[in-house]
């Protein structure tokens, strides 16, 4: 029988059929972070369930600590108990923690692939909806809630129902100024934020095959913003080149054996999907969101949508979004004054993202009225960027160069865009209040965010 | 887990699309030392309260008879976005027992079943009609959600059936704990793992 990538991984992880469409699924990797990691471990232990497979479990703090240069675990005091609790519980059960100040610390979805912990063909879960990111490595990865997290700690399994399959194919080549971030925002704009609800997504087509791994991670990261818990790219030579030699990746003869297995994973030519959608890459321009849902997105050279011309069922949401964002329908979005720029998050904080932003910033200076932050995704990325002199490029241009963490993507560490101020952010959600109460967020690629910082307004990166 | 059998009460028509979990509970409330049970006052705080902390009288949650309503009616994709289970704890803290919407964010939907809150999926025209019937008779209108018989009874007495997975229905009606059930398959888990260690040794660090 012809099978999809998703089906091959899913089916091979079914321990037993529980009936009524539910199965017990084995989980190969459990990743923990400070928001829920320590609490979930404590809860499991209190219920009498010590971690079932501590050696398949890895953690790193990312959500609740400051990213201020020179930060310690105490710089943002509210996060301290969570970080200490994670440290204590992981250490008690021999779970490897990439702790603050240590090599390997970073945003959990940056850390997994970087360490070679995220492998093709594995099931991977984490208490965070952007766990879909790891699908860029060909891993079946999805976000879970706290109770499910306790279940995985206790049993190394999950009770799950198989989702339907959606294949999103991108055909063609990236146009100038366009990145994986623009591809996925464009797709969400076409399909809407709920199109993936109840589905697993496979990204395919010549446009995806040509992407390096870091771009594939960005693509899969935003899968949850169209409603699907998991999004994947089939592993290929690009994946293996990225993975070879990483700390936790298999080595020597074991590597060859693993690659031979991984080569069997891609979707068979005649495998069927429940839904197919194809995007012509010629139509993908640099994107910017205008509203308060990732589906509120347009090409940067377009006008702000007018709710009276929009679909009737969305009119109310569009009006509310424009009001919150302080925007006038019909006006060009380009030129809208910006107060903050945030380059970071599990979506766009990898070395290629920082290089793309730095290539726009180099030799220029940010607009005076803009506060611009660069928050690298991990300690290693920060070191690599510094070795290339990217920190100097940003610092000379008036940007802040900060320590690794989630930071202003969700403001869980107190780092916020002030009320009423406008931000261009490389993160993943433009929800009401996401970057702080009253904050107005526009999602874009790192190069577009850098361009906004230079111009002091939403700008078309192709014109810089 | 708390049992859920039947709820009768006022339903608040929060007729928005894409109510995300960031809107239901702000992330810093889950960092601050607030207990699961103490999150109710912060549920929907961005729409219930003005920036100065006072109640916004325009928000439906602050209006009678909706203030203590155990049911929410909403449009498509309720609970989308972040996986934070705190959103469900906050709804529970606010006294919400069930949410009726055309469909829900996948992770939120799972989180509800872990906490005894019932997400009921009904077509949009049914949700809209329920909202209309609520508004037509404020103060008197009540909705019943009956899990045993998988039906919603509208304020005018119409019976609307809904679908739910049999496994989840059984777990909710009996307040079953997933972990205890899974532990009964411990032998099967260990056998799978032993076989996988030979088939894919590179996964086992």
How many C-beta neighbours within 10 Å does residue B15 have? 17
Any CB–CB contact under 8 A between B180 and chain A?
no
Partner residue facing B189 (CB), from A144, A145, A155: A155
Q: Where in chain A is the domain with CATH 3.30.499.10?
A: 5-163, 287-463
pLDDT of residue A402: 98
Any CB–CB contact under 8 A between B196 and chain A?
yes
At residue B64, the 3 state secondary structure works out as coil
pTM for this structure?
A: 0.97
Name which of A22, A241, A293 is nearest A120 in CA terms.
A241
At residue A60, the 3 state secondary structure works out as coil
Provide the pairing of β-strand A371-374 with A400-401.
Answer: parallel
Q: Are B83 and A127 inside 8 Å of each other by CB?
A: yes
Q: Are B167 and A121 inside 8 Å of each other by CB?
A: no
Query: How many secondary structure helices (H) and strands (E) does chain A include?
Result: 15, 19
Return d(Cα A436, Cα A414) in angstroms, integer: 8
- Residue-wise pLDDT for B102-149, tens only, equals 999 999 999 999 999 999 999 999 999 999 999 999 889 999 999 999
Which chain A residue shows the shortest CA-CA distance from B197? A28
pLDDT of residue A35: 96
Residue A378, strand partner residues: A106
The rounded mean pLDDT for chain A is: 97
Q: Does domain A5-163 have CATH number 1.20.1300.10?
A: no
Q: Are B111 and A145 inside 8 Å of each other by CB?
A: yes
Partner residue facing B51 (CB), from A151, A154, A419: A419
pLDDT of residue A434: 97
Burial A181-220 (b: 16+ CB within 10 A, else e): bbbbbbbbbbbbbbbbbbbbbbbbbebbeebebbbbbbbb
Return d(Cα A268, Cα A204) in angstroms, integer: 12
What is the residue whose two structure tokens read 């192709």?
Answer: A462
**Candidates B24, B31, B56, partner chain A, best to mutate (most A CBs within 10 A):** B31
**Candidates A145, A223, A249, A415, partner chain B, best to mutate (most B CBs within 10 A):** A145
Q: Which of the four pLDDT bands, split at 50, 70 and 90, describes residue B1? A: confident
Give the list of residues 6+ apart from residue B77 with CB closer than 8 angstroms, or none: A193, A194, A197, A227, B17, B18, B19, B101, B102, B103, B104, B105
Residue B185 domain-assigned (yes or no): no
Q: Which of the four pLDDT bands, split at 50, 70 and 90, describes residue B91? A: very high
Residue B166 domain-assigned (yes or no): no
CB A31 within 8 A of CB A59: yes
CATH number of the domain at B54, please.
3.20.19.10
Residue A199, strand partner residues: A164
Return d(Cα A270, Cα B30) in angstroms, integer: 46
At residue A352, the 3 state secondary structure works out as helix
Partner residue facing B203 (CB), from A122, A155, A229: A122
Return d(Cα B145, Cα B40) in angstroms, integer: 22
Beta strands in A234-339 (DSSP E): 275-280, 287-289, 297-299
* Cis status, amide bond into A437, omega within 30 of 0: no
Which chain A residue shows the shortest CA-CA distance from B109? A145
Partner residue facing A147 (CB), from B26, B82, B111: B111
A462: phi then psi, degrees, rounded to nearest 5: -70, -15
pLDDT of residue A164: 98
pLDDT of residue B2: 82
Return d(Cα A267, Cα A413) in angstroms, integer: 41
| Sheet order of strands, B143-146 included | B6-9, B143-146, B151-153, B159-161
Q: Are B77 and A79 inside 8 Å of each other by CB?
A: no
DSSP A116: T
Residues of chain B neighbouring A317 (CB-CB closer than 8 A): 16-18
How many C-beta neighbours within 10 Å does residue B126 have? 19
Q: Which of the four pLDDT bands, split at 50, 70 and 90, describes residue A337? A: very high
Q: Are A224 and B28 inside 8 Å of each other by CB?
A: no
Residue B78 domain-assigned (yes or no): yes
Residue B152, strand partner residues: B145, B160
Scanning chain B, the segments in alpha helix (DSSP H) are 21-24, 28-31, 45-48, 86-93, 106-113, 124-136, 166-174, 178-183, 186-199
How many C-beta neighbours within 10 Å does residue B124 have? 15
Residue B189 domain-assigned (yes or no): no
Partner residue facing A151 (CB), from B28, B88, B182: B182
Residue B31 domain-assigned (yes or no): yes
Residue B100 domain-assigned (yes or no): yes
**Candidates A29, A132, A147, partner chain B, best to mutate (most B CBs within 10 A):** A147
Q: Which of the four pLDDT bands, split at 50, 70 and 90, describes residue A151? A: very high
- For residues A97-102, average pLDDT: 97
Q: For residue A305, how far is the Cα from the chain centroid?
A: 27
Which CATH superfamily, name and number, covers A287-463?
A: Aconitase, domain 3 (3.30.499.10)
- Residue-wise pLDDT for A34-73, tens only, equals 999 999 999 999 999 999 999 999 999 999 999 999 999 9
Cβ neighbourhood burial of B95 (10 Å; 0-12, 13-18, 19+): middle
How many C-beta neighbours within 10 Å does residue A384 have? 16
Any CB–CB contact under 8 A between B2 and chain A?
no
Interface A–B counts its CB contacts (< 8 A) at: 174
At residue B20, the 3 state secondary structure works out as strand
Q: Are B77 and A145 inside 8 Å of each other by CB?
A: no
Any CB–CB contact under 8 A between B159 and chain A?
no
Tell me which H or E stretch contains A161. Answer: strand A157-161
- For residues B153-179, average pLDDT: 95
Q: In which domain, by residue range, is B95 found?
A: 10-141
Return d(Cα B99, Cα B11) in angstroms, integer: 9
Q: Are A28 and B179 inside 8 Å of each other by CB?
A: no
Beta strands in A186-244 (DSSP E): 199-204, 230-233
- Residue-wise pLDDT for A263-288, tens only, equals 999 999 999 999 999 999 999 999 99
Any CB–CB contact under 8 A between B204 and chain A?
yes
Give the list of residues 6+ apart from residue B123 with CB closer than 8 angstroms, or none: B102
Provide the pairing of β-strand A297-299 with A287-289.
Answer: antiparallel
Return d(Cα A217, Cα A212) in angstroms, integer: 9
Query: How many secondary structure helices (H) and strands (E) does chain B include?
Result: 9, 8
Return d(Cα B74, Cα B48) in angstroms, integer: 16
CB A24 within 8 A of CB A162: no
Tell me which H or E stretch contains A216. Answer: helix A213-221
Return d(Cα B191, Cα B198) in angstroms, integer: 11
- Residue-wise pLDDT for A350-372, tens only, equals 999 999 999 999 999 999 999 99
Burial B36-59 (b: 16+ CB within 10 A, else e): beebbebbbbbbbbeeeeeeeeeb
Q: Does domain A164-235+267-283 have CATH number 3.40.1060.10?
A: yes
Q: Are A250 and B196 inside 8 Å of each other by CB?
A: no
- Residue-wise pLDDT for A302-336, tens only, equals 999 999 999 999 999 999 999 999 999 999 999 99
Q: Which of the four pLDDT bands, split at 50, 70 and 90, describes residue A103? A: very high
Burial B19-34 (b: 16+ CB within 10 A, else e): bbbbbbbbbbbbbeeb
The alpha-carbon gap from B86 to the nearest alpha carbon of chain A, in Å, equals 9
The structural domain count of chain B equals 1
- For residues B62-74, average pLDDT: 97
What is the residue whose two structure tokens read 């930060």?
Answer: A71
**Candidates B83, B92, B114, B178, partner chain A, best to mutate (most A CBs within 10 A):** B83
Return d(Cα B85, Cα A239) in angstroms, integer: 33
């Amino acid at each position: 029988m012809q099978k999809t990538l998703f089906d091959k991984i899913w089916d091979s992880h079914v321990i037993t059929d529980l009936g009524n469409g539910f199965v017990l699924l084995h989980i190969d990797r459990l990743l923990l972070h400070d928001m829920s990691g320590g609490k979930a471990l404590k809860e499991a232990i209190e219920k009498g369930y010590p971690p079932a497979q501590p050696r398949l479990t890895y953690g790193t703090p990312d959500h609740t600590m400051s990213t201020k240069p020179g930060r310690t675990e105490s710089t943002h005091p509210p996060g301290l108990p969570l970080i200490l609790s994670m440290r204590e519980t992981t250490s008690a059960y021999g779970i490897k923690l990439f702790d603050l100040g240590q090599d390997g610390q970073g945003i959990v979805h940056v850390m997994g692939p970087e360490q070679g912990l995220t492998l093709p063909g594995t099931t991977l879960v984490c208490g965070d909806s952007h766990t879909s990111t790891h699908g860029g490595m060909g891993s079946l990865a999805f976000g879970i809630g706290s109770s499910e997290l306790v279940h995985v700690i206790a049993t190394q399994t999950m009770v799950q129902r198989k989702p339907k399959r959606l294949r999103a194919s991108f055909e063609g080549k990236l146009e100038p100024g366009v990145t994986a971030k623009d591809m996925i925002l464009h797709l969400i704009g076409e399909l809407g934020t709920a199109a993936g609800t109840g589905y697993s997504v496979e990204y395919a087509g010549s446009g995806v095959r040509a992407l390096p791994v870091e771009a594939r991670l960005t693509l899969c990261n935003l899968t949850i913003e169209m409603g699907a818990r998991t999004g994947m790219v089939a592993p290929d030579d690009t994946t293996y080149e990225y993975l070879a030699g990483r700390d936790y990746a298999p080595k020597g003869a074991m590597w060859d054996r693993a690659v031979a297995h991984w080569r069997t994973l891609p979707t068979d030519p005649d495998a069927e999907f429940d839904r197919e959608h194809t995007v012509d890459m010629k139509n993908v321009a640099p994107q910017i969101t205008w509203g308060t849902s990732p589906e509120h997105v347009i090409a940067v050279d377009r006008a702000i949508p007018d709710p009276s011309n929009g679909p009737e069922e969305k009119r109310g949401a569009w009006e509310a979004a424009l009001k919150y964002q302080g925007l006038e329908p019909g006006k060009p979005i380009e030129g809208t004054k910006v107060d903050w720029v945030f380059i970071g998050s599990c979506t766009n904080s990898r070395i290629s993202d920082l290089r793309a932003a730095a290539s726009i910033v180099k030799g220029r200076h940010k607009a005076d009225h803009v506060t611009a932050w660069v928050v690298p995704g991990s300690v290693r990325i920060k070191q690599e960027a510094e070795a290339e002199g990217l920190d100097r490029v940003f610092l000379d241009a008036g940007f802040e160069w900060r320590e690794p963490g989630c930071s202003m993507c969700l403001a869980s560490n107190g780092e916020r865009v002030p009320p009423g101020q406008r931000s261009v952010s490389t993160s993943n959600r433009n929800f009401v209040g996401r970057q702080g109460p009253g904050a107005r967020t526009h999602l874009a690629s790192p190069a577009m965010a850098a361009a906004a910082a230079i111009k002091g307004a939403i700008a078309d990166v192709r014109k810089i | 887990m708390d049992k859920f059998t039947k709820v009768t009460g006022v339903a608040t028509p929060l007729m928005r699309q894409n109510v995300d979990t960031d809107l239901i509970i702000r992330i810093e409330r889950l960092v601050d030392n607030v207990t699961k049970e103490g999150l109710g006052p912060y549920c929907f705080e961005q729409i219930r309260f003005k920036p100065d902390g006072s109640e916004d009288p325009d928000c439906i949650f602050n209006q009678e008879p909706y203030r203590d309503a155990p049911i929410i009616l909403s449009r498509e994709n309720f609970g989308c976005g972040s996986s934070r289970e705190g959103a469900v704890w906050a709804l529970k803290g606010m006294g919400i027992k069930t949410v009726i919407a055309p469909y829900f964010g996948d992770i939120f939907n799972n989180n509800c079943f872990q906490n005894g809150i019932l997400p009921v999926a009904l077509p949009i025209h049914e949700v809209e009609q329920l909202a209309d019937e609520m508004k037509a008779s404020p103060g008197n209108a009540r909705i019943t959600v009956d899990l045993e018989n998988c039906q919603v009874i509208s304020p005018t007495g119409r019976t609307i059936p809904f679908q739910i997975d049999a496994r989840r229905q059984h777990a909710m009606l009996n307040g079953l704990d997933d972990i205890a059930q899974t532990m009964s398959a411990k032998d099967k888990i260990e056998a799978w793992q032993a076989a996988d260690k030979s088939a894919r040794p590179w996964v086992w660090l």
